Chain A
């Protein structure tokens, strides 16, 4: 770990002023400090966000939920409004990491967390994301944990967050502030596909600070579930996960949101599957069919081909579990 200067601004304005190409904001530090110790991220200055406030959760007049960038994953997961209106988010958060990590981790830090690709974490190995143009070690290496959706020939790393999968399903806006003012970025546009530039992970300029994430108003009468599949029962990143939100009229699906984790290079909305499901009967068979659609464009590699089927299973089961709640009269 290289020496760095810790800057502790008291206002958002000062924080933005202190930020540069060679610095990094720090939330809980559970990603950043880890990567600094490995020599993967080497900021000269670390700009602390701890004194900026940004730790409120408030319901806006239009029914949306505004979450401060510094709200911890634990607090967000157990917030009464989140538990009531967005249980899928609460479940996703609680399925991630460990209690200790969730207590430290912040909302903005979680959105911004880096991939767990082992070659990214090993500065001795080529990696286009860490050092553009050096090549992708994972492509022909150990790639069991890597993505099958949204990949490019330059990078196949997953975005590892659970929280973001639920947010993608719910619909959200990332509010950022920089020297040029405030911007609102739709959640689905915030994370970028690797394409030719895997080093660019999001639509955030170097001075910009995430101040809030605003969740869309909850879908009226929706049922939902977050399902995470992994090797061991807890404390592991997803091999495949699915956040499913549906509304029903009788047995017919009237709206569907399906987002995937563990299988894609960014929090992934399975829009084809969603479209195919709306208007159809909510049957196990139907769920299996739309699950296939979600992986039509999957590109499996040597060790991760099983993720296609696993992801399909996650979708089918998540939808079934969600709909089962409806039949048991348990809404959201």
Chain B
């Protein structure tokens, strides 16, 4: 079974279900008598609703009810605590009052017999607004009311003083635009109330949190809420926390006493389900005459909504990646008329490392040092922000191996000097970095009399391969092959599991699964040695369990047979594992990207031709799904570098490019050769498997590596994402 154990690269156990269309996503679940909801969404970004004309819509075929602030049931706010398991990003409830805070906010919900009837009636609702001048972007927000203090600030030494003393200095500002997650599967909710209990099918990265929030909002005992999310067409962070549509659907269902299904239209995926906020980041770096970094400050402002403060912690990595005595990190926010932002793949670090790793490149060039050498000389040996050793850090090896594979040493440092026909070639590099987190987790495992092994946990597989690596863990511990393993995830009736986010699912879930498996095996052994058991009288310590077989002194009985003999259905184990002990080590993942771009100056055409990434994430649990995460993140990073930008009209704060044709993400033709080196050094200080998580790190630093390569090719230092043609045109 070695090709199914941890570290091997078995195919996903749910792959067949997905490609044959049998995997049910939230909106695929069919309940009798379901009614369909469709939103009426605000067309202004700031102001209030004066009146709603509903008569025409009410009279349309199939319409059951139209909800709005005048008739929506009174509900409660959730305290929004992640620790307590009831977090949401936008605490305001839909239809709470007549205020409009952002474009595309729910102003009414039409519920009808059929989807098309609900949509037609929703479009027939006329809303009169009293419009106020919106704050459409960061600049307007800051101008109108300045900024507010955010979280995650840090300072050590005297960054300003040291900057002044520097031999070489740079003081530059970078900006990143709003990005929208745009998973393929739209947000959707199917809610109903069997026997006064609320059951919700949701496309969710965090069923436990949604359950807790629903219980608070509807004032229900927690056991009266169940949230189910068996398959998810990705989320990238937008589905970590519940959004207003889910509350709207659940409330509507309770009112009309029928199941209600609500799918958020693609346009509103740009408004009411989160986004990565706009940032402006000022970096001040200085070195001494030896090129040693003596000052590093990273001050950022990001946009948030008027309803909640979300902080994009751009400086989260800057604290600890480089060795430097004088560091100052601040995060501030400014309110704008947009929906509430949320985590998007590598929140903080993705925009933050664009700025930091661009600035490091600028600093190295200013000091006359090769950017790779500059970094190798200054990567921190320990986490200076917490004064703790890293649990495991191989960033130098990552940099050296990737550089070797990429051919960095063939780089001619002179700008624009490397040509290939009509194209100018540019080489750039950047470090990548992401925190490693392990949270508390519960799990349940059963060895069953039919010879199968079963595991369940209320975490989710968001397309990353969680089902598969849980199965691999069971293979490793029980010796039972995939064909006889059943894994159930994504349902709050299972033991509490983590959100699928922060790259912490693997490190959090697998130890709990393993612990529960060991408990199940212990239970099996304990039963087997009791009177009537197949090993009656044997010392339990002497009984072994290997490859699904109990044995003692030459007597070998498969566990299924043992259970059958005892007339038992199963032997079960429950486990609760704790989060990582953060007092002894700083846990982080590391890596580097090397990027080759090609610029055709007479065609204003830029492309990424080649990427080599070396990633140090502890032990690799599944070679295929791990590689796939990094490759996908690299492609998403190319999108961040060159294409992605949610555009808001500066006059109205209304989203302009709210569809897949105009909001650009890379297509196949944009994908370069991607070479991923997985270092695979187990981090056993972190957890028994030594795995840190790999979902996010790949996107960090990538945009900077592209921008650094673009500078090398064109001589244009682009400090504003995305890197557009117009930014480069006119370059020599």
Assembly CA distance A229 to B642 (angstroms) = 15
Write the A314-326 contact mask toward B (1 if CB under 8 angstroms, else 0). 1011000000000
Contact B120 A310 (CB under 8 A): no
A316 with B729, Cβ < 8 A, contacts A2-B120, A118-B662 known: no
Q: How far is the CB of A287 from chain B (nearest CB, A)?
A: 11
Assembly CA distance A309 to B643 (angstroms) = 20
**Residue of chain B at shortest CB distance from A2:** B120
Our pick among A2, A39, A234 for the contact of B668 (Cβ within 8 Å) is: A234
Q: Mark out the residues of chain A between 169 and 199 whose CB falls within 8 Å of any chain B CB in the assembled complex.
A: none
Contact A239 B725 (CB under 8 A): yes
Is A140 close to B, CB under 8 A? yes
**Residue of chain A at shortest CB distance from B127:** A124
Q: Find chain B residues with CB under 8 A from A116 CB.
A: 661-662
A232 with B725, Cβ < 8 A, contacts A237-B661, A309-B604 known: no
Write the A229-262 contact mask toward B (1 if CB under 8 angstroms, else 0). 1011111110100000000000000000000000
Contact B120 A3 (CB under 8 A): yes
Is B607 close to A, CB under 8 A? yes
Contact A317 B602 (CB under 8 A): yes
Main SS of the interface on chain B? loop
Assembly CA distance A310 to B605 (angstroms) = 10
Our pick among A39, A118, A306 for the contact of B729 (Cβ within 8 Å) is: A306
Is B656 close to A, CB under 8 A? yes
Q: Mark out the residues of chain A between 292 and 313 whose CB falls within 8 Å of any chain B CB in the assembled complex.
A: 305-306, 309-310, 313
Is A53 close to B, CB under 8 A? no
Q: Find chain B residues with CB under 8 A from A137 CB.
A: 649
Is A33 close to B, CB under 8 A? no
**Residue of chain A at shortest CB distance from B267:** A38
Our pick among B603, B607, B667 for the contact of A235 (Cβ within 8 Å) is: B667
Our pick among B61, B603, B647, B669 for the contact of A233 (Cβ within 8 Å) is: B669
Q: Find chain B residues with CB under 8 A from A133 CB.
A: none
Q: Find chain A residues with CB under 8 A from B603 CB.
A: 229, 313-314, 317
Our pick among A122, A231, A233, A235 for the contact of B725 (Cβ within 8 Å) is: A231
The number of A-B residue pairs with CB atoms under 8 Å apart is 81
Is A1 close to B, CB under 8 A? yes
Interface residue tally on B, bucketed by range: 35 or more
A118 with B656, Cβ < 8 A, contacts A1-B119, A313-B602 known: yes
Q: Mark out the residues of chain B between 624 and 671 whose CB falls within 8 Å of any chain A CB in the assembled complex.
A: 642-643, 647, 649-652, 654, 656-657, 661-662, 664, 666-670
Assembly CA distance A141 to B120 (angstroms) = 29
Q: Mark out the residues of chain A between 7 and 22 whose CB falls within 8 Å of any chain B CB in the assembled complex.
A: none
Q: Mark out the residues of chain B between 551 and 608 whose CB falls within 8 Å of any chain A CB in the assembled complex.
A: 602-605, 607
Q: Mark out the residues of chain A between 26 and 73 whose CB falls within 8 Å of any chain B CB in the assembled complex.
A: 39
Q: Find chain B residues with CB under 8 A from A1 CB.
A: 116, 119-120, 123
Contact A141 B669 (CB under 8 A): no
Assembly CA distance A115 to B643 (angstroms) = 21
Residue with the greatest number of chain B CB neighbours at <10 A, chosen from A119, A137, A235, A309: A235
A141 with B666, Cβ < 8 A, contacts A3-B120, A229-B603, A310-B729 known: no
A141 with B651, Cβ < 8 A, contacts A236-B661, A306-B725 known: yes
Q: Find chain A residues with CB under 8 A from B730 CB.
A: 309
Q: Mark out the residues of chain B between 62 and 91 whose CB falls within 8 Å of any chain A CB in the assembled complex.
A: none
Contact B670 A232 (CB under 8 A): yes
Contact A310 B123 (CB under 8 A): no
Main SS of the interface on chain A? loop
Assembly CA distance A239 to B651 (angstroms) = 24
A310 with B725, Cβ < 8 A, contacts A116-B662, A233-B667, A236-B661 known: yes
Is B724 close to A, CB under 8 A? yes
Assembly CA distance A125 to B648 (angstroms) = 13
Contact A309 B656 (CB under 8 A): no
Q: Mark out the residues of chain B between 659 and 700 whose CB falls within 8 Å of any chain A CB in the assembled complex.
A: 661-662, 664, 666-670
Q: How far is the CB of B140 from chain A (nearest CB, A)?
A: 15
Q: Mark out the residues of chain B between 373 and 393 whose CB falls within 8 Å of any chain A CB in the assembled complex.
A: none
Is A142 close to B, CB under 8 A? yes
Q: How far is the CB of A42 from chain B (nearest CB, A)?
A: 9
Assembly CA distance A305 to B666 (angstroms) = 25
Contact B647 A142 (CB under 8 A): yes
**Residue of chain B at shortest CB distance from A239:** B725
Assembly CA distance A145 to B604 (angstroms) = 16
Assembly CA distance A89 to B481 (angstroms) = 56
Q: Find chain B residues with CB under 8 A from A234 CB.
A: 667-670
Contact B654 A125 (CB under 8 A): yes
Q: Find chain A residues with CB under 8 A from B729 CB.
A: 306, 309-310
**Residue of chain B at shortest CB distance from A101:** B661
Assembly CA distance A213 to B666 (angstroms) = 35
**Residue of chain A at shortest CB distance from B651:** A141
Contact A141 B667 (CB under 8 A): no
Assembly CA distance A237 to B663 (angstroms) = 12
Assembly CA distance A82 to B642 (angstroms) = 35
Contact A232 B666 (CB under 8 A): yes
Assembly CA distance A305 to B724 (angstroms) = 13
Q: How far is the CB of B698 from chain A (nearest CB, A)?
A: 20
**Could you list 15 A-B pairs, sorted by A, with CB under 8 Å?**
A1-B119, A1-B120, A119-B656, A122-B654, A137-B649, A229-B603, A229-B605, A231-B642, A231-B643, A232-B667, A233-B607, A233-B667, A234-B668, A239-B725, A310-B604
Query: Which of A's residues lie within 8 Å of B, judged by CB?
Result: 1-3, 39, 116, 118-119, 122, 124-125, 137, 140-142, 145, 229, 231-237, 239, 305-306, 309-310, 313-314, 316-317
Besides A142-B649, A306-B726, 19 more A-B contacts (Cβ < 8 Å) are: A2-B123, A3-B61, A118-B656, A118-B657, A124-B43, A125-B652, A125-B654, A141-B649, A141-B656, A232-B664, A232-B669, A233-B607, A235-B661, A235-B667, A237-B661, A306-B725, A309-B729, A313-B603, A314-B603
Instruction: Give 6 closest A-B pairs by Cβ, nearest first.
Output: A124-B43, A233-B669, A306-B726, A234-B669, A118-B656, A142-B656
